[in-house]
A and B are shown apart, each in its own frame.
Chain A
Amino acid sequence: MVRFFLSRVAQTLAVLFTVSVIIFALMRLIPGDPILMMLGDDFSQDAYRRLQAKLGFDRSVVVQYLIWLGNILRGDFGDSYLNQEPVWRLVWEAFQPTLVLVVASLLVGVFIALPSGIIAAMRKNSAWDWGSMGFAIFVYSMPGFWKGIVLIWIFSVYLGWFPAVGYVAPWQDFWNSMWRLVLPAITLGTFFSGLVARIVRSSLLEVLDQDYIKAARARGVRQASLVYRHGLANALIPVVTVIGLQFGALLGGAVLTETVFGIPGMGRLTVAAILNRDYAVVQGAILVGVFAVVIVNLAVDLTYAFLNPRIRVA
């Protein structure tokens, strides 16, 4: 277990290192001189040279990377070119709504996926199976941003049940926040449920085909008891992994969903920063987003190992 833990942490560090190199390289490939952009109207030869030395831009690329990495590790993501605000604060403020949306969607997704996947597996090849798997592929294939617009059209414009746009943090006004989260969380959560329901079904089918289930069935254990007491616990282990692996897809989906519902999250921050050529913010936001995905993957892998004794012991 300790060895597994250490090797996964080492792998994660390697991935984080590669990610940081990729982002650093991407940002250096942007056409135009970043120092000119940072100085803006304050340009003078002297100021240029001072900033160049401060950022280490007169040194080799490797040194530049190390300086950049050192700053990042100390939590210094630089300042926005646009309004000189520290990037970490902008990113932190934008990260919270995104995280709230992702968690809410995750709950909605699991809430839909578990029953529909279980029903599909229990009544394989029945109308229930076809219906719930058809629904899964349907909601999974619907582009999230379009689904959001359709939901706004039906539930906000036509029925007037939910607000179309806007965000309130749950810790400010919980019920108002939840009310505003319904449509965005359904938009993103149904996409997620489509992914997970198919995994729940195939995983449960595989478990129900195992000998110990057959033996239990031969002993006269009822079908419902077989599924809930014996099958599900084992079938859910791979599902946990999939939920973790799809955290990235959820975050990516959140970027688009936020834009539809006017939620001031990471997606809006990044896209606005790109359009404003505020590359310090772009870099910070992408770095934090991808790091979050990598860390969640690690956490899920370790949870998986904990749940699965075959790995725990190895």
Chain B
Amino acid sequence: MAQPLDADGLALPASAPAAGAMAEAGGLHRAHRWWRRFARNRGAVFGLAVFLAIVFMALFAPALAPYDPLAQGVGPANQGPTWAHWAGTDSFGRDMLSRIIYGARIALAVGIVSVVIALIIGVALGLAAGYYGGWADVVIMRVMDGLFAFPIIILAIAMMAVMGFGVKNVIIAVAVGFIAPFARVTRADVLAVKEEPYIEAARLGGVSSLAIIGRHVLPNVTAPIIVQAALRVSGAIITEAGLSFLGLGPPPPTPVWGSMIAEGRNFIVMAPHISTIPGVALMVTIVGLNLLGDGLRDTLDPRLRR
């Protein structure tokens, strides 16, 4: 890729008067530069737009949805798209569009909350394993290896068997599945950062381990963690949809994309829209998140740029 070399982070404006203002201006400059690079990636911008649209849909679901998503018989059952029901109705005569709009809430909630939980736990474990090394490292990383061996959907199925069904449990199940990748990514970067002279200097200066980790190590390993988080949100949403499709997700009549697709399977001959339309919503979301994640990876983590 013949891109002009850019000196990231080195281009602080020389004329800035105070150190604080200089750092701030440098930060802004860097953010602007990053945005310009991000905006060049059309797929990533499309992904960001999709993501923002889904967030908007989830936040304002009550205002956007034309009908109550749980109300039965708001239209004739199994009717395809009409002016009154843009996405048609399901077998209970519920408005599909309203259910899809509300479904965005659960998809996003599961996607974001589970990834945040996995991030917090995984990063903490990765920091501990990487920074302290020794037995902490061995024990933590062997457990992570074990967790990593589970295909995410299979681990989630096992967890649902243990915990029972429901949105909260889906979030926990998906979160547990994603701890290992965060721990691995964090540990790998901590190992590299740990050897830097400034860490050594802080240690010799008598700064406590926790302070070093918080103030010096963590800020230097955030980029790959953010990239990992962005890439995992779509995985979390697809896992939730898979669990719901199998009937192991939030119980009916909760409007969830996965179970809507599953319900429609029985009506595929006479009312194919029941399965296909929620699937389109799910797919657009996943494509958007994957493009956004790829874009963030390419712009935030230049090592991975191809």
Q: Could you tell me the distance in whole angstroms from the C-beta of B4 to the nearest C-beta in chain A?
A: 16
Given the complex of chains A and B, what is the CA–CA distance between A192 and B12 in angstroms? 45
Complex contact A248–B275 (CB within 8 A): no
CB-contacts of B230-264 with A (<8 A): 234, 238, 241-242, 245-248, 258, 261-262, 264
Q: Out of A31, A138, A259, name the residue touching B245 (CB < 8 Å).
A: A259
CB-contacts of A135-185 with B (<8 A): 137-138, 140-143, 145-146, 149-150, 152-153, 157
Complex contact A26–B162 (CB within 8 A): yes
B272 at the interface (CB under 8 A from A): yes
Which B residues lie within 8 Å of A256 (CB)? 153, 242, 245-246
Among B75-83, B95-103, B140-148, B192-200, the stretch in contact with A: B140-148
A-facing mask of B13-48, CB < 8 A → 1, else 0? 000000000000000000000000000000100000
Which B residues lie within 8 Å of A251 (CB)? 151, 154
CB-contacts of A250-267 with B (<8 A): 251-253, 255-256, 259-260, 267
Complex contact B283–A149 (CB within 8 A): no
A249 at the interface (CB under 8 A from B): yes
Complex contact A255–B153 (CB within 8 A): yes
Tier of interface size on chain B: 35 or more
Given the complex of chains A and B, what is the CA–CA distance between A31 and B162 in angstroms? 7
**A142 (CB) vs chain B CBs: closest residue:** B283
CB-contacts of B148-179 with A (<8 A): 149-154, 157-162, 164
Given the complex of chains A and B, what is the CA–CA distance between A67 and B301 in angstroms? 48
Complex contact A14–B306 (CB within 8 A): no
Given the complex of chains A and B, what is the CA–CA distance between A286 and B143 in angstroms? 17
Q: Out of A30, A150, A290, name the residue touching B154 (CB < 8 Å).
A: A290
Which B residues lie within 8 Å of A259 (CB)? 245-246
Among A17-25, A107-115, A222-230, the stretch in contact with B: A17-25
Complex contact A146–B157 (CB within 8 A): no
Which B residues lie within 8 Å of A142 (CB)? 283, 286
With A138-B287, A152-B268, A293-B151 already in contact, the answer to whether A279 and B161 are too (CB < 8 A) is yes
B91 at the interface (CB under 8 A from A): no
Complex contact B275–A15 (CB within 8 A): no
Q: Out of A143, A206, A289, name the residue touching B283 (CB < 8 Å).
A: A143
Q: Could you tell me the distance in whole angstroms from the C-beta of A152 to the nearest C-beta in chain B?
A: 6
A202 at the interface (CB under 8 A from B): yes
Complex contact A202–B306 (CB within 8 A): yes
Among A37-45, A70-78, A268-276, the stretch in contact with B: A268-276
Given the complex of chains A and B, what is the CA–CA distance between A286 and B164 in angstroms? 17
Which B residues lie within 8 Å of A23 (CB)? 158
Complex contact A153–B276 (CB within 8 A): yes
Which B residues lie within 8 Å of A205 (CB)? 306
**B238 (CB) vs chain A CBs: closest residue:** A143
Given the complex of chains A and B, what is the CA–CA distance between A26 and B159 in angstroms? 7
A294 at the interface (CB under 8 A from B): yes
B291 at the interface (CB under 8 A from A): yes
Complex contact B265–A260 (CB within 8 A): yes
A282 at the interface (CB under 8 A from B): yes
A29 at the interface (CB under 8 A from B): yes
A-facing mask of B198-240, CB < 8 A → 1, else 0? 0000000000000000000000000000000000001000100
Given the complex of chains A and B, what is the CA–CA distance between A141 and B279 in angstroms? 11
Tier of interface size on chain A: 35 or more
With A30-B162, A157-B269, A248-B149 already in contact, the answer to whether A143 and B279 are too (CB < 8 A) is yes
Complex contact B154–A289 (CB within 8 A): yes
Given the complex of chains A and B, what is the CA–CA distance between A277 and B153 in angstroms? 19
Complex contact B272–A157 (CB within 8 A): yes
Q: Out of B147, B157, B290, name the residue touching A270 (CB < 8 Å).
A: B157
Given the complex of chains A and B, what is the CA–CA distance between A274 and B268 in angstroms? 26
Given the complex of chains A and B, what is the CA–CA distance between A297 and B145 in angstroms? 12
Complex contact B160–A290 (CB within 8 A): no
Given the complex of chains A and B, what is the CA–CA distance between A205 and B2 in angstroms? 13
Which A residues lie within 8 Å of B153 (CB)? 252-253, 255-256
Which B residues lie within 8 Å of A286 (CB)? 154, 157-158
Complex contact B151–A249 (CB within 8 A): yes
Which A residues lie within 8 Å of B279 (CB)? 143, 146, 149-150
Given the complex of chains A and B, what is the CA–CA distance between A248 and B146 in angstroms? 13
CB-contacts of B255-306 with A (<8 A): 258, 261-262, 264-265, 268-269, 272, 275-276, 279, 282-283, 286-287, 290-291, 294, 306
Complex contact A252–B142 (CB within 8 A): no
Complex contact A137–B151 (CB within 8 A): no
Given the complex of chains A and B, what is the CA–CA distance between A294 and B272 in angstroms? 39
Which B residues lie within 8 Å of A140 (CB)? 290
Complex contact B162–A22 (CB within 8 A): no
With a 10 A CB-CB cut-off, give which of B43, B161, B164, B287 has the most chain A CB atoms.
B161
CB pairs A–B below 8 angstroms (20 shown): A15-B149, A17-B146, A22-B143, A22-B146, A141-B234, A141-B283, A142-B283, A143-B245, A143-B286, A145-B242, A145-B261, A146-B275, A153-B275, A252-B152, A255-B153, A271-B247, A279-B161, A282-B158, A290-B150, A293-B150
